[in-house]
Amino acid sequence: MGVLDECHYHVGVENGVNVEVGGERGAIEDAVRVLLLGLGEDINREGLLKTPLRVAEALRDGTRGYHQNVKGIVSGALFPESGLESTVGSAGGAGGLVIVRDLDLFSYCESCLLPFQVKCHVGYVPSGQRVVGLSKLSRVAEVFAKRLQDPQRLADEICAALQHSIKPTGVAVVLQCSHICFPNSQSDLNNHQGYVRLSVISGSGAFDDEKAGIWTDFLGLLRFRGLTADATRSLEKSWCPSRTICKTPPASDPSLLAAVSSILYALGEDPLREDLVETPARFVNWLMNFKNSNADTKLNGFIRSSMRESSLTMAPSYICSELNLPFWSQCEHHLLPFHGVVHVGYYSSGRAISSVGKSLLQSVVQFYGFKLQVQERLTRQVAEAASSILGEDVIVVVEASHTCMISRGIEKMGSSTATIAVLGRFSTDSTARAKFLQIIPSSA
């Protein structure tokens, strides 16, 4: 689809001010309530009361590019700059390559509606002895990132928009994209791969030929080792993990599918567009991993029966640990995933917990992880459940990466959070806490 296609390029900015699309936030909030009910949740629970509003605001902010106009961004930022003509040579102002590197962008995947991260590099060769303000390259890239996207189309749209608005000799765009790779089920938790990574390129004008020497200059200035001008321009349909995990999404509750379709429509998209037809089913399939099973009683019974098989003795003497227990969860405030590891410390008289006990701990972590959560509550719940297995002296540390923090909060790739819960002796003995914290690997 072309960058200026009316179906995907909505002009909604007047004098730099976004034009409000009437009723879209309310429609998204109503749809989110339907999804929460489908998860078996109480939409009047304190932690969920404002979730529809938060989700609506996050989605509207994350797709605000539909209502922004590239022409308005660039038109006032073209400046005259004398330099050598490209037919003679090239230098700074006219004919010389200009690159802005390492722009951190965040976009929503059109296949599953989860955010993905983008490291964007943009270059152009000026013409007509005029250059564009460098910050405008970043702003134009963000306009198209703030839409439902896939990597190749995102690169093509940024490239085409800059070519159309600046009219340079050529434009080059390189994107390094990272999509969270979620487990298909709780049983797949230990084998999930973290992130799917993909690099794509797009070029116009002087960069239209991927074998042109100017691509060598561009990539050389990026100092890449693994990316060359031969990098693929075509995008495999398996880029999004949801397409690989669930090539044919299972039948879902029609009301839930309709709710997701109404969200797409409220954002300014066409739910019947070819690349979006199966998106509601994929999103619902992912979300239902976190359905509230109300199985706390069943878990408690499982703990009691399993403890009869555990070889842990009850006379505490030194600190033992179980580290890097993986988990996956869903933020109840924004309906976005967070994942990480759990570290558990406890006292033992001379023998660590048995393999049965370790497996039980992982089951506890998965049970409390696979539901709508906040990290603080998850940490406390794991600590309380672990104390019934390991004794009252327990310390739990949870380290996690939050999609909501990365994509709409501090917008910092690599940011993470850590929470701690202490029971028994660990709550009063700072030396014991320090000893355990030193055990946790720095790479966790």
Which residue range is the domain that position 178 belongs to? Answer: 6-288
The verdict on 282 and 147 lying in the same domain is yes
Which residue blocks in 391-423 are alpha helix, DSSP H?
403-404
Residue 444 lies in a domain: no
Neighbours of 287 (CB within 10 A): 21
Rounded distance between C-alpha atoms, residue 53 and residue 371, angstroms? 20
β 417-423/372-373 pair status: unpaired
**Domain C-terminal end among 230, 264, 288:** 288
The verdict on 176 and 270 lying in the same domain is yes
The verdict on 305 and 230 lying in the same domain is no
The verdict on 333 and 218 lying in the same domain is no
Rounded distance between C-alpha atoms, residue 170 and residue 273, angstroms? 31
CB 114 within 8 A of CB 338: no
The verdict on 306 and 421 lying in the same domain is yes
**Domain C-terminal end among 253, 288, 323:** 288
Residue 261 lies in a domain: yes
The verdict on 52 and 110 lying in the same domain is yes
Rounded distance between C-alpha atoms, residue 162 and residue 132, angstroms? 10
Residue 177 lies in a domain: yes
The verdict on 26 and 143 lying in the same domain is yes
The verdict on 43 and 120 lying in the same domain is yes
Q: Tokens 């914290």 map to which residue?
A: 437
pLDDT band at 416 (very low <50, low <70, confident <90, very high): confident
3-state secondary structure the chain: CCCCCCCCCCCCEECCEECCCCCHHHHHHHHHHHHHHHCCCCCCCHHHCCHHHHHHHHHHHHCHHHHCCHHHHHHHHEEECCCCCCCCCCECCEECCEEEEEEEEEEEECCCCCEEEEEEEEEEECECCEEECHHHHHHHHHHHHCCEECHHHHHHHHHHHHHHHHCCCEEEEEEEEEEEECCCCHHHHHHCCEEEEEEEEEEEECCCCCCCHHHHHHHHHHCCCCCCCCCCCCCCHHHCHHHHHCCCCCCCCHHHHHHHHHHHHHCCCCCCCHHHCCHHHHHHHHHHHHCCCCCHHHHHHHHHHHHCCCCCCCCCCEEEEEEEEEEEEEECCCCCEEEEEEEEEEEECCCCCCHHHHHHHHHHHHHHHCCEECHHHHHHHHHHHHHHHHCCCEEEEEEEEEHHHHHHHCCCCCCCEEEEEEEHHHHCCHHHHHHHHHHCCCCC
Residue 142 lies in a domain: yes
CB 119 within 8 A of CB 107: no
pLDDT digit string (tens) for 356-394? 678 889 999 999 999 999 999 999 999 999 998 888 999
Report the CATH number that the domain containing residue 312 is assigned in CATH: 3.30.1130.10
Rounded distance between C-alpha atoms, residue 18 and residue 105, angstroms? 20
Higher pLDDT, 240 or 78: 240
pLDDT digit string (tens) for 249-264? 565 789 999 999 999 9
The verdict on 274 and 340 lying in the same domain is no
The verdict on 284 and 311 lying in the same domain is no
CB 352 within 8 A of CB 320: yes
Our count of domains for the chain comes to: 2
Residue 128 lies in a domain: yes
Rounded distance between C-alpha atoms, residue 271 and residue 283, angstroms? 13
pLDDT digit string (tens) for 168-226? 999 999 999 999 887 765 555 555 567 889 999 999 999 999 888 899 889 888 876 45
Residues 6+ apart with CB under 8 A from 64: 18, 146
The verdict on 281 and 383 lying in the same domain is no
pLDDT digit string (tens) for 13-59? 333 333 344 468 999 999 999 999 999 999 999 999 999 999 999 99
**Domain C-terminal end among 272, 288, 304:** 288
The verdict on 215 and 313 lying in the same domain is no
Question: Mean pLDDT over all residues of the chain?
Answer: 81
Residue 1 lies in a domain: no
The whole-model pTM stands at 0.82
